[in-house]
Amino acid sequence: MIKRSSKEAKLTEQVNSKRLKVSDSASPLSTDILKITSGKQLQQLLTFSQDKRNSFNDIQTFKSFLDTIIAGYDSQAKLLILKEYFELQKSYSGDQNSGIFLCDLIKIWSFASESNKENLLSAVPSVLALLLKITSNSLELLTYGISLGKVLLHKDQFELIKRGLSANKNKEHVISPILRLLRELSMLDGGALANSVYKARNATFQAMVRNLTLGYTGHGNEELRKPSVRTNAIRFLLQLVKHLSTESKADILSQRDIFSTLIRDIINDPPFLVRDILLTIEIHIIKDASLPRDAKTKLLSSRFLVNIASLYRYNKSEEKNEISTSSVSESAHKFLLLACSSLDSGVLLKQSGLYPRGLVINICDENNTNLNNKQFDLGLDSIEWIDKYTEKVPVRNSILSEFIHSLKPWSNIRHAELIISIFKAAPELIAGYFSGKNNFLFDPKLTAMWVGYSNLIYSTISLSIPNYFGYEDGYANLPPPLPIMMEHILPRKFSQKLIIKCLGQTTNSLIMFLTARIICISFQKLEAALQMYKQASRGPSASIWNQYASMVIENYSRRIPAISHIIGAYRRLTSTNLCQREVFTKLISLYYEILPHIALETNSGVSSIIAEGLLTIDKTNLRSRDGILCALELENILRLARLSPGMKWFSNSNGLSMSPFLATLRFYALAPREYLLPRLRSVLISIFHESQILQTCNSNAEFDYLIMNIRSILNDNENSGFFKYLDSCISRCAATPTKYIFMLEDLISETGNNICEPDISLLLLAMLEQWPFHVRLADLSTIKITSRFIARYLASSRKLKKDKSMIKCLSKKFSVACADKSEAQCILKSYKKATIDITIPENEFRNSTKISTSIKHTPQVIEKQPRALFEKIGLDDISETNNALTRWRKKDIEDVIEDGYLKSLIMLLSSKHCNIRREALINITKFSHQLKESKFEEREQIWLLLQELLESSRIIINQKPLTSIFSCFASYAVDVLKDPSHSLYPKVNQFLSQKPVWRLDQIPMMHRLIDESPSLDVAVYSEREWLINILSDGLCSEADLEIYRKRLVFERILSCYNYNFGLKLQNQILNILAKACLIKGGISTLVTRFSLVTWLEVQDSLSSNIAVKELYQSLLQSCGHKRVKAWSRGTIKSK
């Protein structure tokens, strides 16, 4: 090879060195960052120069300076330097460059564009974006930022923006800074320049569609600090949507190519960006009331909704700092629920329910009676469209109609929830949706798809029919098309053939259960539709609506299987298929209740189901784990028996030990109280009404008392004899009610009452007639059980405010009939005492009429009406009821005590009127003398109580009222002393035997009841409750409050609160505290002396009792007293 000459070698070296010299685009940065100390230095640093390397280094130095300001490092000092620089630039620009602000930076940007220096093309817009961000966050620099924004939006800079946005797609470092700059421009000063940015869209929207396709292509998740071009473009668009005016926003939404590209690839975007997109569209488009509806509709197309729904399968991992926020799929679900079910969203249109689009029907009203008789002579046959719309249904909500067909509710729970919410908002879509699903066959295969589709059908049928079938102001002259109506009741895809096939799946009981559940809900919807037809038939088109109802029933009957198929499927179920057995018995009862002509047309064998159900009543263990399901199944069977015309309720047959009615009644009484069986209750009450056994004005309440009394007998093991007696009474009363009506008339004449409508039930008379035979044939233990039941039943009748003279006469007749049974006679005579113990839970009277309150006074309890905590509870209502001063004289001694007249007299000693107090004192004295001479069994103890009360109150009665706590104690003590079996009877007698006069500065028996052990081990709760009730009723005035304060009553009851005595007693204690706060000085006493605020805070944190929270809040609202504020040093303030 020939060796090169030295001349050629030197030439080659020069050429190589030149190439290295001109390649300054990759020149290294200076490692030493210049420290900026003044605005003058910054101006000199950024002075325009054609030295590309130095210019880039200077820009980078300035960028580092701005980054430190954003990071917060000595930001105040550096903001002053920046402000100084802006002032220098402002004056410099005004003198030489016709007002171009920051002209040096603009020149550097322009020079970089002309010389194609990409590093400067990227650095200058980045610096300008940082400047806008800093000035936007500083009020002092905001005006400079606006000046810079106006310079950037000048047409001279449009080419620079366009070139940056339209750079090659592989040059993200050039495109992204421009997009960040435009985003900051849109955000500046709350969007002051957003409209200007959009008006310059020829430049600012350059290559926008293409840039929206330049997503993240790296590995892993996209980071917020290093966003892609697409992310920057989307964030720029979102800021425009947030800050544009209504007109400009409507215009930008019309650019479908931009937003369709934005939404098309949303599933590939990072989580923070997806949530930002959804939130911005929701707040600034969907919920923007000023934005026209058509502008929203341009965005929210069916394709848009499909792309949002694709986020349900979003699988990108969430950021660590976003754990507390909703996931992307949850956010998308909430967005679609709002967009598809709100009339203001731009998607949902007003529709007319079951009437398809284009069908004009007049609305029935009082003035619209001139119908075309020729048109309606032929009935529904003259309406050509009544049988149309079997395949395609015209709808107004075409966007939603197209969208729901893209969902797969059988495979995605959120798809199912979304489509059900759409059906609820737009019922017109239901018929078209199911009629168009021809590609899905509902074959009975136990797969996830089958179960999902069955749940969709069930949820759809569960939706209520729209009011007036879709018309707003009333029922139309004509009903909706029949095919549409039937699709709402039972979709035709769920055909009769398919149902029978599903019911034959003996190996898969779940398929049978889901199928029966769908038919049950369709029966209930049919019943609701029939009620609406009945209401519509009250208009001028009655014959049309009645004929339409018959057609609906006929079509529905053809879609459901015969009842024999249902019964056959039920018989194939095993005893362990409890859920299936319950739903099938419910379905059979619905056949008889809603479509009896179908159920009765064939011999379905339902009587054997009823017989088997009655035989299992005594064998059912309602206390077991599956007791509620067994109870519901039996309830359905008994409801079916009620609908069966051949059912004999009052005859013993089929091996039953008692009549079916009594077995049912016993079963209802035996069921735990938490088992609510309302349908069974209605069955029993209806039978009582029809048989006239309890045919009185308050039979519902009497039924509840009867059930309660039967429950008391169920505790006894040997009660079979009693049930035979009761069964005989009920059966005889139902068979020959006339006989007992004559007995009732004789009883009325015997007592001398002139009553037009006596309220004594015939059952009592039947029990009286059969009582002598029962006494003669039954053993002693059974007689005692029966007599206790009769006594409680008489007490219940007395409590129902029935005629007392007739009840008293019946009681004597019962006693005479068992004269040789002293124990039974004693029980019967004490029926009045049984009244005290008779209380019924609240849920027993949920459907019954109101009855009188308990004889035992029950103070107001803070439970379900927390707003009434501080409601005024005064003593005036009790004290001013002074009719007892005269009415007691017309009564017997026993009635004065039993009916509460004596307690009323005692309470009048606390009246604020002196003359009433004197009269009460005199009348109590007179009554005590009569009581002493009477033959009342407990006269000695009650007389002693009255004497001590008189001696204690006589001293002060002329000067002031007797303190309420003492009158309440005396009235409560009367109830104890008249019943020797009361748990407090020994302690009250011991208290009365201590001193002849009471100390009026002490609370009677408080320490004895709180500190000492109870008389009986099981009476600890009743003793505390008795005392708490007295303390609650006795707190009415400032004098009462002073006694409570001196005797530390509040401290004692607060300590009792934490005992395990149940919610009722705790609420009664809270009631005392609430009443104390109503009295003058009560709040100050409770807060300063007993730290009530702190105690309530502790209890609120420890318990879930809402009454504690309400009392605490009410107390804070009332803590405006000066003493409380001074004591707490301002820590307790009224809210």
**961 and 905 inside one domain:** yes
**How many Cβ atoms are within 10 Å of 780's Cβ, its own excluded?**
11
Is residue 113 a part of any domain in this protein? yes
**652 and 725 inside one domain:** no
Of 95, 111, 127, the residue at which a domain comes to its end is 127
List C-alpha distances in Å: 586 to 590, 605, 608, 891, 917.
6, 16, 16, 55, 64
Q: Which residue is associated with the tokens 């001109």?
A: 22
1056: Cβ contacts below 8 Å, ≥ 6 apart:
1010, 1024, 1028, 1065, 1069
Tokens, residue 1011 = 């500190």
**550 and 449 inside one domain:** yes
pLDDT per residue over 484-505, tens digit each?
A: 999 999 998 888 888 999 998 8
What does the pLDDT read at residue 362? 57
Is the per-residue pLDDT at 324 higher than 80?
no
Of 987, 1022, 1057, the residue at which a domain comes to its end is 1022
**418 and 277 inside one domain:** no
Tokens, residue 1129 = 């040093």
List C-alpha distances in Å: 14 to 3, 5, 19, 22, 23.
19, 15, 9, 13, 15
Under DSSP, the state recorded for 957 is T
Identify the weakest region by mean pLDDT among 6-20, 574-588, 609-623, 908-922.
Answer: 6-20
Do 359 and 385 form a contact (C-beta atoms < 8 A)? yes
Under DSSP, the state recorded for 1035 is -
Is residue 1126 a part of any domain in this protein? yes
DSSP-assigned beta bridge partners for residue 806: none
Do 149 and 193 form a contact (C-beta atoms < 8 A)? yes
Identify the weakest region by mean pLDDT among 606-620, 663-677, 828-842, 898-912.
Answer: 828-842
What does the pLDDT read at residue 259? 93
How far, in Å, CA of 1125 to CA of 1130, rounded? 5
Tokens, residue 932 = 């002493």
Chain-wide mean pLDDT for the chain? 80
**425 and 467 inside one domain:** yes
Which one-letter amino acid corresponds to residue 212? Answer: L
pLDDT per residue over 549-595, tens digit each?
A: 999 999 999 999 998 899 889 888 888 888 988 999 999 999 988 98
Please tell me which residue, 841 or 952, carries the higher pLDDT value.
952
What does the pLDDT read at residue 1020? 64
Give the residue among 48, 34, 156, 137 at the shortest CA–CA distance from 92: 48
How far, in Å, CA of 390 to CA of 104, rounded? 74
**386 and 524 inside one domain:** yes
**1000 and 1084 inside one domain:** no
Average pLDDT over residues 613-623: 72
Is the per-residue pLDDT at 609 higher than 70?
yes
- State the pLDDT confidence band at 339, using cuts at 50, 70 and 90: very high
Q: Which residue is associated with the tokens 């803590």?
A: 1119
**539 and 582 inside one domain:** no
**512 and 580 inside one domain:** no
What does the pLDDT read at residue 392? 85
Is residue 728 a part of any domain in this protein? yes
Is residue 860 a part of any domain in this protein? no
List C-alpha distances in Å: 566 to 85, 555, 664.
89, 19, 24
- State the pLDDT confidence band at 11, using cuts at 50, 70 and 90: very low
How far, in Å, CA of 134 to CA of 144, rounded? 10
Which residue range forms the structural domain that includes residue 881? 866-1022
Q: Name, of 402-411, 686-695, 1070-1079, the range with top average pLDDT.
A: 402-411
Is residue 7 a part of any domain in this protein? no
Is residue 86 a part of any domain in this protein? yes
**572 and 540 inside one domain:** no
Tokens, residue 326 = 């909703």
Q: Which residue is associated with the tokens 């966003």?
A: 227
pLDDT per residue over 125-136, tens digit each?
A: 999 999 999 998
pLDDT per residue over 173-229, tens digit each?
A: 999 999 999 999 999 998 899 999 999 999 999 999 999 999 888 787 788 788 999
How far, in Å, CA of 650 to CA of 733, rounded? 10
Average pLDDT over residues 664-680: 80
942: Cβ contacts below 8 Å, ≥ 6 apart:
897, 902, 931, 936, 974, 977, 978
How far, in Å, CA of 565 to CA of 580, rounded? 15
Identify the weakest region by mean pLDDT among 435-444, 675-684, 896-905, 1067-1076.
Answer: 435-444
pLDDT per residue over 138-173, tens digit each?
A: 888 899 999 999 999 988 888 899 999 999 988 889
- State the pLDDT confidence band at 849, using cuts at 50, 70 and 90: very low
Identify the weakest region by mean pLDDT among 158-172, 233-247, 674-688, 1026-1040.
Answer: 674-688
Is residue 337 a part of any domain in this protein? yes
How far, in Å, CA of 609 to CA of 564, rounded? 12
Is the per-residue pLDDT at 20 higher than 80?
no
pLDDT per residue over 265-301, tens digit each?
A: 999 999 999 999 999 999 999 999 999 999 999 999 9
Is residue 146 a part of any domain in this protein? no
**556 and 575 inside one domain:** no
**583 and 680 inside one domain:** yes
Q: What is the pTM of this model?
A: 0.68
Structural domains counted in the chain: 7
Which one-letter amino acid corresponds to residue 5? Answer: S
How far, in Å, CA of 317 to CA of 327, rounded? 10
